[in-house]
Structure formats: structure tokens, C-alpha cells
Amino acid sequence: MSNHPENPVPFPYKYDQTQLESEAVSTGDLPEASIIEKMMQKTYDMYADLTSGEVARYIPRLADADPRWFGLTLASTTGSAFSSGDSRQEFSIQSISKAFVYALVCDTRGHDEVRERIGVNNTGLPFNSVIAIELNAGHTMNPMVNAGALATTSLVPGASWDDKWDFIHRGLSSFAGRDLLLDDEVYTSEMETNLRNLSIGRLLQSYGHITVDPECVTELYTRQCSLRVSTEDLAIMGATLANGGVHPVTGAQVVSAAASRDALSVMATTGMYEASGDWLFEIGMPGKSGVAGGIVTIAPGKGSLATFSPPLDSAGNSVRGIHATRHLSRKLGLNLFSSTARL
């Protein structure tokens, strides 16, 4: 049973950094450009006609998405990008924002505080679960489900709500290397139907996990979810996390290498909600999905693959996105857990 209120983290996790002289990082290269180009097109062709999955409807505006949209982009840490299909089609970032806001908050609050306050373990339950909070003695569990994401957004620095929004908007835009725009229609549509997130915010306030106004936090979180991105944006955002927090094209240090590493760890264990184990087993990389149909997957040191296709499976993950990412992970040698024998 995962409910240990008096000891939510069952092992001594504080680490004495002074014992470490230098840290090894993931290495290895992507295949050469011509191979990636061919594989991106081939993968698009393989899955473009797949029709399974349902477009999200609980945010009314999302139901207007075209189920045929399908875009793929792979961005490398050296600044190259390879795309196929609707890679310029914009869509709302939704839950994928959680990973990047988490990295920004880790950067300002640090590894230990964020771990203690938000948690890193999977709930095994859907992204907007209330039961998960109750089952775990009020703990948010992790930053990739709504409870933890709301608590993470509540930790964003800023004297006013405008300052906090500015921090998030500027931070996510720096990850993308361009000014990201808000999708007003998606934002308004979710705000009009946001009772569940508001309730989660209030519940977290009752447990003392949100100490600022939960309605303002929910509004801010909904706004961060409504920023528009394409797979070209998402892939470069992911490539920044794959590159120690440095944007491969602009050269900006968006977050520290430690914050990037921490965000990737929680994406690996929890980024695909209750399907995170399946995802890691099949794909072998940190990933984060959103209900508009985006998925970003990171190969540390190498780059990032972004997919967009609105039809989702029952956990809220894009069906074509899962298929395409799995195929490319295998074809491009991206799985972090695969190795060959040293000869």
C-alpha cells in the first residue's frame, strides 16, 4: 500500500552533492541526417491512416480539432530539425506545459524543496484524479498530474498574478525560442468548464499544499495550458531539456542542467499518467502528453521528438503519437535502456 503519511518517501533521499566531483551525462549521437529524414517521412506514412482514438471533448473547444492532423518533428541538441506532416499546425500545449513549468520551478526552488513539496511518484490513476489525493493523505504525488501541476504553478515566483504569468509565459517562450501566443478560445472554453480543477485546487488548499488563492492558481494553470505550440516548437523545447537546459539554437540557458534532469526524471515515471509504465517499457524515454494531442519525448544528450495527432486513448495520450514515437525510438536507437555488448 502506497499510503505512508508519516513517511511518504520510503528511503533516505537527500544526497550530499559535495561527494561528487563531476557528473557523467548521457552521450551518444543521433543517426545521420539523411537516415532521420527518411524515417520521419516513413513513420508519417505508416500511421497517417490509423483511425483509432477519440478527440478530447471535455474542454468543448478541443472537440473542433481535425482528427486527421498528424505532425512530427525531431530536433537535435545541435540545432537541426526534421519534420513531416502537419508540423506547423498549432495546438494548445495543455499538460505538456506541466513538464516545462516544473523545470522552471525546480530551477528557482531547487531539487530537495520541490521533491518534498510536490513528490515524484506515480499515482496509477488518471491525470485529474481526486481519489489519488485522498488515497495519499493529501499529497499531490507528482507534478505531471493536475494536483501536482497546480501545486507547482502555485510555487511560481512573482509578487502579483501578472508577474507570475509573465514568468511562465517568458519561461515557456524561452524554451521555444519564440514568443508563444495564448489560444483565447481554448482558454475561455476550459475556464467555463473548469470545476474539477477548481475543486482539486481547493482540496489542496485544505491540506495546506496550496497556500495562495487556489482560484488564481487554477486560472494561471489553465492559461499555461492554453499556449499555442506546433511540433516544431515542442521538439526544440524538448531539445533544450535534452541539452542541459541550453536552447540549441538561441544558446540561452533557459534552466539549469539540474532542473532539466529533474524534469526528465518525473516525466519518465509519470509523464504519461497511468500508462507511464507501458510508455517506458515500449519507448524507453521520458515523455509528456497533453489532451490536445501533443506528445514530447526526450533523448537526453541527443534531442527530442514531438508528435501531434488529436485522437487519444483512454488515458488521454495520442494514439498516433504513441505509435510513431515507439517506431522512431526503435529505428533511431533512442531507447535509454537498450545497449549492445562491449566487444
The residue ranges that bind ligand GLN (CB under 6 A) are: 94-95, 127-128, 146, 190, 197, 225, 290-291, 316
Return d(Cα 83, Cα 62) in angstroms, integer: 24
Report, in Å, the least distance between residue 103 CB and ligand GLN: 17
* Complex with ligand GLN: residue 82 or 127, whichever CB lies closer: 127
Tell me whether residue 127 or residue 167 sits nearer to ligand GLN (CB atom): 127
Nearer to ligand GLN (CB atom), residue 36 or residue 144? 144
**Whole-number minimum distance, CB 295 to ligand GLN, in Å?**
11
The CA–CA distances, whole Å, from 52 to 45, 301, 302 equal 16, 33, 31
In the bound state with ligand GLN, the residue whose beta carbon lies nearer, of 258 and 315, is 315
Helices (H), the chain: 33-47, 96-109, 111-118, 131-135, 146-154, 161-176, 184-192, 195-206, 214-225, 231-242, 257-270, 276-282, 319-331
> In angstroms, what is the minimal distance from the CB of 127 to ligand GLN?
5
Smallest separation, CB 214 to ligand GLN (Å): 14
Q: Residue 201 has what DSSP assignment?
A: H
Neighbours of 49 (CB within 10 A): 9
Radius of gyration of the chain (CA): 19
Nearest residue relative to ligand GLN (C-beta): 95
- CB-wise, 115 or 223, nearer to ligand GLN? 223
Which contiguous run of DSSP H or E holds residue 71?
A: strand 71-76
Which residue from 58, 82, 87 is spatially nearest to 146, judged by alpha carbons? Answer: 58
CB 295 within 8 A of CB 316: no
The nearer residue to ligand GLN, 201 or 248, going by C-beta atoms, is: 201
Which one-letter DSSP state was computed for residue 195? H
CB of 335 to ligand GLN, least distance (A): 24
Minimum CB–partner distance for residue 149 and ligand GLN (Å): 7
Instruction: Tell me the three state secondary structure of residue 92.
Output: strand
